Each structure stands twice: as C-alpha cells, then as structure tokens.
C-alpha cells in the first residue's frame, strides 16, 4: 500500500468539488483532491493509502467525498484525527479510516501494511511500526461487505 | 445526577432517564430533514435496492435548495427526483424552492425544543438554536434512519462556550463564531455537543442564535445547542417553550469563557474559517465582490445588518444578495430593508444555497477577491481555485462593499 501524504483539515469539498456534484461518482472522482495535489486523481492506484494530519474530512456531509476515494481504489485513509461526520460516512461506504497519532512519520511513497482490527501500521519502507486505533470487528465486517447498504442487503437475504 | 442539555435530549430520545457521555445509545428520531442534493436523489435508489419503506413520512421534511434554480439537465433531474419522491412517499412537509433548509425548518414550524433530529447536511446543527439536538449525517445513514426511525450515537460530552457581557454595535453572532473557530480550530468541537450560553448569547435574537449553532459545523462539533427561553417561544409562535437547559453543576468537557464587550468584528482569510483575525488585520485589502447569502448569512436579521450599513450609500464592489428564504425576502421587502440593499446596487439572487454551495453555474471567476457572509472559504468551494474568499459578518461585508476594500463596519456607525 503506497502512501499519498496530505496536510491538516483536508476538506470534503476538495474530495468532491461542488461544481461536479451534479454528476456521477466517476466524474467526481476524476477531480478528487486535485486542489491539494493535481496529480492525485490520475496517478493514484488501487490499494494506495491516503495519509493526513488532523481533522481529515472537515466540512460537508456529502458522501461523495469518501465515495470518490473508494472509487479511485484508495484502500484506507490514515489520519491523526477525522471530522466525525466524514468518519461515519467513510465506514458506512466501506472505506476503512484509521486514527493514528504518528501519521506525520509517514512519507509520500512509503509502503504500508495495515492490520485494521489489531490496530497496527507497518511501514515497510522504513521498518517502523505505529499503533493505531483498531476498527471493531463488527464494523470491519460491514466494511468488507462494501459498506452499510450491501451489508444490510446481505443480512436481509439471509434473514 | 446533573445532566447537560445535550444529555437530557439524547436520554429522552433513547428512552432513558440519563446517559453517560461516551456510551453508545440508539435514539428515536423525531425529525429527518433532507435536501435535493443529499436526499431523494441518493436515498431513493437505496430504498428500492432494499425494498424498504419510510418509517414515518410525517417525520420527514424535504427541501429543494442546492440545485435551485436548476441550470442544466442533471440539476433539473435531481430536483425532479426530489419532487416526485416526496409526492410518492406521502411527505407533506415538502418545501420547493422556498429557501434554504436550515432556515425553513424553524420558519415553517417543524422544530420544538427537546426534539432529536437529523439532517442530510453538515449545517444541521442550526436546529440547536431551538434546543433541538440536531446533527448532519450522510445519505447512507439517512437511509438507516428512513427505514428504522433510529440512529446510534455516542452520548456526547458538552463543551460550554460562554459569552459574557454584550456585543458592541456593529458586532454580531458571525463575529462570535469566526472568533471561536480561530481560537479553538476547526476541530475544537471534537464532534461533541457545543452549548452556547452567557448573557451575550441570551441577548441574541433567534436568527442570530441560528448563526451561532449553524457554524458549529466549522467548529467541528456534532451539534451546537442553546437552552430554550422566551425568545425561542416567541419565534416559534408558541405560548411557552418547555425549558430545556443544562442542570447547574452538570459535568462538561471544557468551559470556555469569552467577553463579548471587547470582541471586534472578525474576518477569516483564505482558505479556512479558522484563519481569523480582527478586521483591522485585513483592512484595505481590495475587493471585487461582496456576497450576502447562505443559511448563516442572509436571513432577515442578516439583511437588516447589511441595510444598516448600506442605507443611502452605494456599493463600490459588485454586491450579490441571496435572501435565505422567500418569507425573509418578503419581510425584508415590506419593511424597506430590501429596498435599501437594491438602492445600494445589490443584485438579487434566488432564495437558495447559491454560491455558498458552489453547485450551480454562478461561481467566482479566476483571481476574484471576495468577501462573503457564508460559512466556508475552502479553496475552490465558491469558484475558481485562484479565487480568494474572506468570511465576515453582514455588517463587515456591507461596509467593505461600500469601501471597495475590507473595512471596519464600526467606522460607518459613528
């Protein structure tokens, strides 16, 4: 998992810019985080990880923000802290979000391995390991199903 | 045990006598509000996928405000979906192009103190001004509410924000919030309940209280609350508002005290609402455009503040005014407030989110320097990434429009 590193207070409007909000997620995702790093939407690869500072996802309730990251194949977001509304939205859409107090030790391009349920990030580039807040297993089950909606569908089918 | 206002409402909605901050509880939802962007367009297909129905259409309010007026085929489709879905679902509280959702909720009598409510928009804490525990959620969580009538949350801690004294002339609720966000940061609210109290808060009219609670979103709180009182009851047109407030001695996470008497007009520089300083730090910056709009900046009270500055004067910048609701615009017209703004050169825009959301065709051009009564000046939100947006109160925005540069509104009052 290759790291893309961003700063503090990365807002939802930069992940899902207002001028594209009337379109589908394919269009929105092409402009995801371009205000912060113009190369990001075209160069990010499935399995890459977004790493940031405090209050990632500040701003709007728009789910297209985490949905755009997921659409681009981003495997997780690691941040020192998240805006509460974004945090709930991301998990509900099946995008793992990881709170890590040492996210500032990660550099762009570092190769990471994350154990979400154990709460551990291994930086394979530097050999460091960081503790992070574990995601409870029942929430990870929802994330693995692809989010709350497919998770509910699965449960209704088996009911 | 003494409980905060937030604990009391959450406990009531959870069917409990009390809650402990941090415990996870499931609450019955008294009201769910959605707008055209995050609402029917998103929840309708999900409901269909699940084959599920809305738990109680009488508790749902739908508003069109983000894609209003619809400027292209996609936008028209989004608004049409909201209309059709509201009708098919039997939602009677459907407000079509009548104003911004957060302003319409209390204006149309949907809120009562002590309610527990969710909204499909981050500025939903606006309802907290009426002692309603209201917060923003995404469309998928809204789906959960629509099928179950419930939502889980961590019972909140309360952060008390006390403003003692009285605001000086030319200083307003927007200045209080920009100051707070500058002091505590965009994550200062820690996704907990923020309760605004103190003499200066009690003295605010209802729509100014709404501005405080509204920008709890930029402060990073889950909700922002003000205890109900006579002012609340009068605005809602009810004989007596049940007294919803915090018990004396209830435990809070933090209690911040500020002095309203010494607060100067505040301005937040690009590109963050937390980049706040006294207006004097920015005075003289040349401006191309002044924008008076949004749920946080174009209610009747906001228009009145702007008119106090603009009476008998002309704006040197382009001045755009988008009154927050149809009724507020009509009231402003009747009392002469709107006439003052138009006389000063204001161009009137529809009663909708407009440039604040940045969803429509009217966006700030490249390199435009603007001053705005809106809530967010994130890079590129209101237009080109090269545009520079300063946030300020209606007083300061109007005074700056007159000067053609960032100006202190108090200079016009003396």
Say whether B137 sits in a helix, a strand or coil. coil
Asked if B274 reaches chain A (Cβ–Cβ under 8 Å), the answer is yes
Q: How far apart are CA B46 and CA B57, in angstroms?
A: 17
pLDDT at B413 (0 to 100):
84
What does the pLDDT look like over B185-194, one tens digit per residue?
A: 999 999 999 9
Q: Please answer yes or no on whether A63 and B143 come within 8 Å at the CB atom.
A: no
A103, A51 Cβ separation under 8 angstroms: yes
Using the Cβ of A139 and the Cβ atoms of chain B, whether some distance falls under 8 Å is answered with no
Could you report the per-residue pLDDT of B98-122, keeping only the tens digit for each? Answer: 999 999 999 999 999 999 999 999 9
Q: Report the b/e string of A86-106 with b at 16+ CB within 10 A.
A: bbbbbbbbbbbbbbbeebeeb
Strand A120-123 to strand A129-131: parallel, antiparallel, or no bridges (unpaired)? antiparallel
If you ran DSSP here, which 8-state letter would residue B364 be given?
B
Residues of B in contact with A21 (CB under 8 A): 37, 359
C-alpha distances (whole Å) from B329 to each of A65, B207, B294, B337 are 33, 14, 13, 9
Q: What is the pTM of this model?
A: 0.97
Mean pLDDT value of segment A34-42: 96
Model confidence band, residue A155 (pLDDT cutoffs 50, 70, 90): confident
**Does the pLDDT value for residue B242 go beyond 80?**
no
ipTM: 0.95
Average pLDDT over residues A79-89: 98
Within 71-110 of A, beta carbons closer than 8 Å to B belong to 81, 83-85, 87-89, 92-93
User: Judging by beta carbons within 10 Å of its beta carbon (0-12, 13-18, 19+), is residue B15 exposed, middle or buried?
Assistant: exposed
> CB–CB of B200/B165 below 8 Å?
yes
The lowest-confidence range among A118-122, A152-156, B338-342 is: A152-156
Looking at residue B239, its pLDDT comes to 81
Residue of B74, B186, B220 with shortest CB distance to A23: B74
Question: Is-cis flag, bond preceding B69, omega within 30?
Answer: yes
Q: How far is A125 from chain B (nearest CA, A)?
A: 31
Q: Which of B143, B359, B363 sits opposite A22 (nearest CB)?
A: B359
SS3 B339: helix
Q: What is the pLDDT of residue B414?
A: 64
| C-alpha distances out from residue B21 to B227, B253, B373, Å | 19, 10, 34
Q: Write out pLDDT tens, residues A107-138.
A: 999 999 999 999 999 999 999 999 999 999 99
How far apart are the C-alpha atoms of A67 and A77, rounded to whole Å? 12
Q: Encode pLDDT of B131-151 as tens digits.
A: 999 999 999 999 999 999 999
pLDDT band at B361 (very low <50, low <70, confident <90, very high): confident
Instruction: Write out the DSSP string of chain A.
Output: -BEEE--SS-BHHHHS-GGGTTS-HHHHHTTTTTTT-TTHHHH--TT-EEEE-SSBTBS---THHHHHHHHTT--EEEES-B-HHHHHHHHHTT--EEE-TTGGG--TT-BEEEETTTTEEEETTT--EEE-PPPPHHHHHHHHTTSHHHHHHHHHHH-
Q: What number is the average pLDDT over the span B219-224?
A: 98
Q: At B224, which helix (H) or strand (E)?
A: strand B223-225
Q: What is the largest CA-CA distance in chain B?
A: 64
When scoring B140, B148, B295 by the number of chain A Cβ atoms within 10 A, the one with the most, hence best to mutate, is B140
Which residues does residue B194 pair with via DSSP β-bridges, in sequence order? B159, B224
What letters, b where the CB count within 10 A reaches 16 and e where it falls short, cover B165-179?
eebeebbbbbbbbbb
Tell me what the pLDDT averaged over chain B comes to: 97
Q: How far apart are CA B180 and CA B163, in angstroms?
A: 10
Long-range contacts of B409-413 (CB under 8 A, 24+ apart): B409/B170, B409/B265, B409/B279, B409/B309, B410/B168, B410/B169, B410/B170, B410/B171, B410/B265, B412/B170, B412/B309, B413/B169, B413/B170, B413/B308
| d(C-alpha B325, C-alpha B7), whole Å | 32
């Amino acid at each position: 998992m290759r790291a893309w590193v961003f700063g503090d207070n990365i807002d939802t409007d930069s992940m899902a810019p207002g001028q594209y909000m009337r379109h589908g997620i394919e269009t929105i995702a092409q402009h995801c985080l371009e205000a912060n790093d113009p190369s990001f939407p075209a160069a990010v690869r499935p399995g890459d990880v977004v790493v940031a500072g405090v209050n990632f996802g500040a701003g709007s309730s728009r789910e297209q923000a985490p949905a755009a990251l997921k659409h681009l194949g981003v495997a997780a977001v690691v941040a020192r802290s998240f805006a509460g509304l974004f945090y709930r939205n991301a998990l509900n859409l099946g995008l793992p979000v990881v709170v890590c107090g040492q996210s500032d030790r990660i550099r762009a391009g570092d190769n990471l391995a994350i154990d979400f349920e154990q709460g551990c990030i291994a930086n394979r580039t530097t050999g460091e390991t960081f503790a992070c807040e574990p995601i409870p297993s029942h929430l990870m089950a929802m994330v693995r199903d692809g989010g709350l909606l497919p998770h509910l569908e699965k449960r209704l089918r088996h009911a | 045990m003494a409980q905060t206002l937030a604990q009391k409402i959450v406990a009531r909605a959870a069917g409990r006598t009390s809650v402990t901050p941090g415990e996870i509880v499931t609450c019955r939802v008294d009201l769910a509000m959605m707008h055209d962007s995050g609402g029917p367009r998103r929840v309708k297909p999900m409901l269909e996928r699940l084959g599920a129905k809305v738990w109680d259409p009488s508790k749902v309010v739908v508003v069109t405000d983000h894609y209003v007026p619809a400027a292209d085929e996609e936008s028209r489709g989004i608004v049409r979906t909201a209309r059709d879905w509201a009708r098919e679902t039997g939602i009677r509280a459907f407000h079509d192009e009548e104003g911004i959702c957060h302003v319409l909720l209390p204006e149309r009598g949907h809120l009562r103190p002590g309610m527990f409510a969710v909204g499909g928009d981050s500025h939903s804490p606006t309802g907290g001004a009426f002692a309603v525990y209201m917060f923003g959620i995404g469309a998928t969580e809204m789906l959960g509410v629509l099928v179950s009538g419930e939502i889980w949350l961590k019972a909140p801690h309360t952060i008390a924000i006390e403003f003692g004294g009285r605001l000086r002339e030319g200083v307003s609720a927007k200045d209080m919030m920009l100051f707070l966000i500058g002091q505590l940061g965009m994550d200062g609210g820690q996704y907990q309940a923020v309760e605004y109290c103190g003499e200066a808060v009690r003295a605010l009219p209802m729509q100014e209280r709404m501005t405080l609670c509204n920008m709890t979103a930029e402060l990073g709180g889950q909700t922002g609350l003000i205890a109900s009182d006579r002012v609340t009851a009068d605005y809602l047109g009810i004989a007596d508002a049940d007294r919803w407030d915090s018990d004396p001695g209830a435990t809070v996470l933090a209690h911040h005290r500020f002095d309203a008497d010494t607060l100067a007009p505040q301005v937040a520089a690009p590109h963050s609402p937390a980049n706040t300083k006294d207006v004097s730090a920015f005075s003289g910056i040349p401006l191309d455009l002044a924008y008076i709009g949004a749920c946080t900046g174009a209610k009747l009270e906001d228009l009145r503040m702007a008119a106090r500055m603009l009476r008998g004067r002309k704006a040197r910048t382009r001045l755009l005014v988008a009154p927050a609701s149809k009724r507020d615009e009509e009231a402003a017209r009747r009392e002469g407030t709107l006439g003052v703004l138009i006389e000063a050169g204001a161009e009137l825009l529809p009663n909708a989110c407009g440039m604040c959301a940045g969803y429509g065709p009217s966006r700030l051009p490249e390199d435009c320097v603007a001053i705005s009564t809106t809530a967010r000046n994130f890079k590129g939100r209101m237009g080109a990434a090269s545009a520079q947006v300063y946030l300020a109160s209606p007083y300061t925005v109007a005074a700056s429009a007159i000067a053609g540069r960032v100006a202190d509104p108090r200079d016009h009052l003396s």
